[in-house]
Chain A
Amino acid sequence: EIVMTQSPATLSVSPGERATLSCRASQSVSSNLAWYQQKPGQAPRLLIYGASTRATGIPARFSGSGSGTEFTLTISSLQSEDFAVYYCQQYNNWPVGFGQGTKVEIK
């Protein structure tokens, strides 16, 4: 089973600043990685798939990069609506799996 590890657990950022979230896989997942955003009381929302392709309707301030075992989600200029929990997910092998999440909070 591939273990997904996200860091940091919590990221404190001021509005307008850049946020960089990391996700590491215990073995290569190629580019078969997605990122989701979850706000309190809501279902997760797809942001990025294929490691770097933005989903429909996702603002350009969200970008994904990486391949193999190291991945990054960057939010270029944090808006108030971006404070949430972010999860990475690998879909290269069964069982698919999620990281434990990174909470982006207001500094």
Chain B
Amino acid sequence: QVQLVQSGAEVKKPGASVKVSCKASGYTFTSYGISWVRQAPGQGLEWMGWISAYNGNTNYAQKLQGRVTMTTDTSTSTAYMELRSLRSDDTAVYYCARDRSVGGLGWFDPWGQGTLVTVSS
């Protein structure tokens, strides 16, 4: 079955970086994109960006430009999201999700289980 499995929870200090992984299985990785979505405690869903697993093209949310980098490793069917210069308001659960459009601009199915990133001094 199609599945996305994310890396474990992280605790980081302000100013540090975090890199979350998302390993895909059950489908042809390069036929879809991966979007990243985060959810702060008790809040709604915030789209962070998208990467094509086919050619590595990306599209990032404007508010995160310059701090976020999304990459893929097609040899292991894994997507990565790195967020730098962490602040307390980056504390959230981070989700990866398969984007059903190869060019981006699709719906998300399925989702990974989520990775809690806590930023605290």
- Contacting A at CB under 8 A, from B26-43, are 35, 37
B96: nearest chain-A partner, CB-CB: A43
Taken residue by residue from 65 to 101, chain A's Cβ proximity to chain B (1 for < 8 Å, 0 otherwise) reads as 0000000000000000000000101011111111111
Q: Is the interface of A mostly helix, strand, loop or mixed?
A: loop
- Chain B residue numbers with a CB within 8 Å of A96 are 35, 47, 50, 105
Report whether A34 and B108 are in contact in the complex, using a CB–CB cutoff of 8 Å. yes
Q: What's the least CB distance linking A95 to chain B, in Å?
A: 5
Inter-chain residue pair count (beta carbon < 8 A): 61
Which residue in chain A gives the minimum CB-CB distance to B61?
A: A95
A44 to B44, CA, bound (A): 11
If the complex has contacts A98-B44, A101-B44, are A44 and B104 also in contact, measured as CB distance less than 8 A?
no
A43–B107 touching, CB < 8 Å: no
Q: Which residues of A contact B46 (CB under 8 A)?
A: 98
Q: Are B105 and A44 in contact (CB under 8 A)?
A: no
